[in-house]
Chain A
């Protein structure tokens, strides 16, 4: 990641520290902080996204620790219920919009141009702006804690009409969501344009690495879904301040309308997060199986099918709001259908490993961890898609467990796999394999310690978003909290591994993973130069 700093130095200091880089003067003449503020280079911007994501991962993680600390024992120990609600809200928003989404945009920035043989993203300046909106948005979220009334304590879904009761922190959050949405839309337009227009000669759509495919589809989902969220929060804003009654029955509105609009964004959002994760795993598993992906075409079709289905299942988050039986049945059938293309993907990954020549370096371990736990999360998703069971489990810890299997064991594990996989390519240095394996196993064990037991809590009837709980839930909550502390500490190890690799890691061989076969591995030196594919490779 930021080894780019070391390798490429600063244009101004190049002569001084004696590093001779043939490409040093391509930084646009700026050094230091200005290089990062003004950069239009897809690799620099990718690096910015990834570090931004990691910082948010830490901030959101601290909030998760606070939540688990309060839930370690029954009773109110550390945080009053108001602050507890603020933590759950901001943990969700920061992790989804600040940590997971930017992480995959970071991968997209680094990888898409290199994987399709393009010199950079299509709109380089726009790319800079897409990133630099984010720190402002994230700051608004954090600042809201320090406003009168604190951050909103309404849950990351920001359900009306509870939002109307919140203080000015709610408005900051709404503006933050606007900014985050803008950043995502701009980034997506850039990604779509890059993929459709800047592929090297011979890089047909059906030859693109699967990671590029999943991002192409994800970018379309973002362009379609983010404006819907912006609309929902804007309506909340006008309900709060300008006398409208979109979500207020007394004025002819309906609180449930908010939920419909939110989840029309919210369900595609799940796949906005999951699809790029599928993409990373689809690069890693074939590389360490030394065998091509089993069904490339069917993977592309399955991804598209998931994307389309994701727009007609939103109300499965709302079975208990009181909808007609036909509505419940439609959304149930549509939701269960998603299991088919998702199954196709899982079978494809397993079939790719079948009769391969497997080795288990850290990226592969995380990819297998992803495959195993994401599938588990998929099955609990199937359980929750069934109306009668969902009515029993809705808004309990079962749901919390389910979506953390998808978001953490799905997206986060895949992001870890991606970082370990591409770090040698990006920086020219290897990470410490032993420590990497430790990171995987500890993450794996603690993750399950936190979340597996939460299935039991949900089944037994513990509601989510409560700061205190009846005594019968104590044992599992204690185990979950211990797991959370372990999980949090383990991620400091991850930071150490990355910093160590960047600073003093062994020099990476020209091709660190023998099975990797996309363009960045086959056509570019290690580490990749600051500017790559200034003339496109001919792949015809």
Chain B
């Protein structure tokens, strides 16, 4: 009976194991990651060293303990006729195996404590950058040091088609953004983290730098990059639907290049500053609005404007969108609060300027089945912003 089953079970097990082996050999062609990412800072290097040190200790103890056990499994088996000794309890050995692990812990704790203290020391930075987590993108504000005043939003740039399997996936699939965080090499960068909606977590493995971004609070961390290059990572605290799609990309550049980048950014800011008093035509607004929509609204409300109810309501045919324009502008500006609690519709006032807001509201009022014909001017948004 059992034998018959054994054969079919064995076949199944072998098939699955063979499948795994096949994956492994085909995977051998691409790089297989075994260990921590290469360190890009002294701190990360210390963490790697610590990890290796602890792993060696643990492995040695593991092999020792289970060496005993497997020797026993091999030598002290009933089928070999081994008679059980009946000993139990031995104060000396029990004290030893309590004290020795305690001593090993102290040996581990000593170097670890030094790293903990170093990791927490965010004093005297050369550059301070505020990072704000939004559902689902990162905002970067250079608040002190060279580049002060630079401010941008960093959104994933991997196209939806790649995620949905309608296009081949690129090299940096899910790890690419429209605006990278740029920092100079060899400078102590202090990152202040906060969030606008829920908890996010900002992490760059190569720098050994991870800090939760808690809404309403400011936390900090620091890193000093010692290699130029692009370092990639992702949000690491579950923050809702698109948690897997808000990458962090840091570009470390030499000082001269950084200075040049700051200069370009500053010029760009001056040039791109929309004149909020300008009058736009409906078509201009719609065109601009479509871009704003694609960057900020599409993941929830969808390209079709149908949303994914009930959490993300449709805009196509929506009462709010087709209703008075002041009410719609206010809800985009300030977010929607329902029964006294904030909803997934966060305030876009802090993220978008008056022209962008006017454009996106115009777009939603004149797209899909919505045909109000309203062309909202930046001045109208500006007026409501003050209230």
Contact = CB atoms under 8 A, between A and B. Distances in A.
Q: Do A and B bind each other?
A: yes
Interface of A: 74-77, 80-82, 85, 148-149, 153-155, 159, 161-162, 164-165, 167, 239-241, 243, 248-250, 254-256, 289-298, 320-322, 324-325, 328-329, 332-333, 336-337, 339-340, 343-344, 346-347, 350-360, 368, 371-372, 375-376, 379, 382-383, 386-389, 391-392, 394-396, 432, 434-435, 438, 442, 445-446, 449, 456-457, 459-461, 463-476, 478-479, 482-483, 485-486, 489, 493
A80 B9 CA distance: 34
Contacts, number: 345
A165 B97 contact: no
A388 B115 contact: yes
A340 B105 CA distance: 9
Given A292-B86, A343-B97, A461-B205, A386 B238 contact: no
Nearest to A72: B23
A461 B37 contact: yes
Contact of A296 (B33, B89, B174): B89
A375 B98 CA distance: 16
Contacts of A359: 77-79
A464 B30 CA distance: 22
B237 interface: yes
B6 interface: yes
B68 A354 contact: yes
A466 B210 contact: no
A485 B236 contact: no
A524 to B, nearest CB: 24
B342 A164 contact: yes
A350 B12 contact: no
B62 A438 contact: no
A460 B33 CA distance: 6
Interface in B15-59: 16-17, 19-20, 23-24, 26-27, 30-37, 43-44, 46-47, 50-51, 54-55, 58
Given A355-B87, A358-B77, A248 B216 contact: yes
A392 B33 contact: no
Given A165-B344, A463-B235, A432 B243 contact: no
Interface in B74-111: 76-79, 82-90, 93-94, 97-98, 101-102, 105, 108-109
B82 to A, nearest CB: 5
Given A357-B78, A375-B65, A456 B86 contact: no
B326 interface: no
Contacts of B174: 74, 468-470
A479 B32 CA distance: 12
B341 interface: yes
B32 A475 contact: yes
B84 A295 contact: no
Contact of B216 (A250, A291, A371): A250
Contacts of B217: 249, 254-256, 322
